[in-house]
Structure 1
Amino acid sequence: MQFEHDNMVGVHLAVALVNLDSSGSWMPETLEQTLRAHQIRRPHVTGSTSEDIRAWSRLMRPVFEASSQAERCQNINALLADGAASVYLTTHDNLRPHLHFAPDAQDLQSRVKAVTAGGLAIFALQAEGERLGVCALGSCRTAFVDTSRNGRRAYCSPRCANTDAVRRHRDKRR
């Protein structure tokens, strides 16, 4: 399955925010860097903005932890209801037509909610409700987006996959 980069900004921002929260490194400065890295315009972060977006990131985690396609879609629908009030097509900055889920004039928290909820919905549609997950290594809580060719990714990184394989091998030898 081929995924277009333009449609991936929201889903990659969603996973970055979920992981930023669970990593214990959430600070207004790191949040602002994360938002800039994911093309969010005017990402000036205040203390209250940071806490609002952090609460939103915690609402997104169940999307990655869902055990079924139906549960994942239900979780995304809840995010859409809260975060994406309007959808419209735009062609700003000489970009090809693409969707926006919130006007640029809205506050930062509303724009982040809209782009992540919309991005998760578009990705789930393209991936048939699959390909979002949390690392299968028990000691790791890292969320990920599976853009692999076969869509069977279970770990956030090769390191976690290798760690788990070594553990299974040692358990088997005992």
Structure 2
Amino acid sequence: MQINPYGTDAVRLALDLVVHPPETAPELAARCRAAGLVVDVPVDATDLAATRDFLTDWLAVVDAADPPARSALLNTLLREASAHPRLTDHAGTGWHLHYRDPDLPLAGVLRALISVGTALHLAGRGMHRLGRCGAEDCDRPFADVSRTGRQRYCSPGCANRDAVRRHRSRARSVDR
């Protein structure tokens, strides 16, 4: 997977793995491949467990109360995944940057990819561009990739349900 300038692809992969957690190591590998990540190492239960642990830490970044707290948490994840950037054409798909050491297990690749991608997303789009769904009956995380930067819901379905709820609430209060 090549990180786009805003980190959106890596953040979307993290969200997919959080919202629909893979149950097996082969499923984790398949989902990463489907997202465009080159998986050229064996993937086992250790990768699955380490990825789950990392995503729990990553959700703390999503849930951080303010930009300084979010930055501190993300800087910790970046420090744990740090390696000097390197130019590579490891898969023959074109030259691109990696922010990780070569030959890492998949969990290490995901830690680096998602940490750097999240940092690029927040630095490029705004520190407020991660959150939890604003619908009363949903707490899914989301990454705001909207043009305006005002996304409050994880999906159009949640936005529509919440709009209907608000409309019905107003209509009931008018009827009284």
TM-score for the superposition, normalised by structure 1: 0.83
Q: Match of 1:9?
A: 9
Q: Match of 1:27?
A: 24
Cα distance between partner residues in 2 of 1:106 and 1:116: 14
Stretch deviating more after TM superposition (4-13 or 109-118): 4-13
Larger radius of gyration: 2
Aligned AA (1:10)? A
Stretch deviating more after TM superposition (57-66 or 7-16): 7-16
Backbone CA RMSD of aligned residues: 2.3
* Cα distance, 1:68 vs structure 2: 1.7
Does structure 1 residue 18 correspond to structure 2 residue 15? no
* Cα distance, 1:30 vs structure 2: 3.1
> How much identity, in percent, do the aligned residues show?
31
Relative to 1, partners in 2 of residues 1:28 and 1:100: Cα closer, same or farther, differing over 3 Å? same
Aligned counterpart in structure 1 of residue 44 of structure 2, from 39, 43, 46: 46
* Cα distance, 1:91 vs structure 2: 4.1
Aligned AA (1:114)? A
**Higher helix proportion (structure 1 or 2):** 1
1:66-145 alignment to 2 at 5 Å?
Answer: 66-82=64-80, 84-92=81-89, 93=92, 95-96=94-95, 98-145=96-143
Structure 1 unaligned regions, length at least 5: none
Stretch deviating more after TM superposition (42-51 or 127-136): 42-51
Asked whether the equivalents of residues 135 and 143 of structure 1 are also in contact (C-alpha less than 8 Å), the reply is: yes
Structure 2 unaligned regions, length at least 5: none
Number of matched residues?
A: 167
Q: Match of 1:153?
A: 151
* Cα distance, 1:162 vs structure 2: 0.6
Cα distance between partner residues in 2 of 1:140 and 1:100: 35
TM-score for the superposition, normalised by structure 2: 0.82
What is the DSSP-based 3-state SS (H/G/I as helix, E as strand, rest coil) of the residue aligned with 1:80? helix
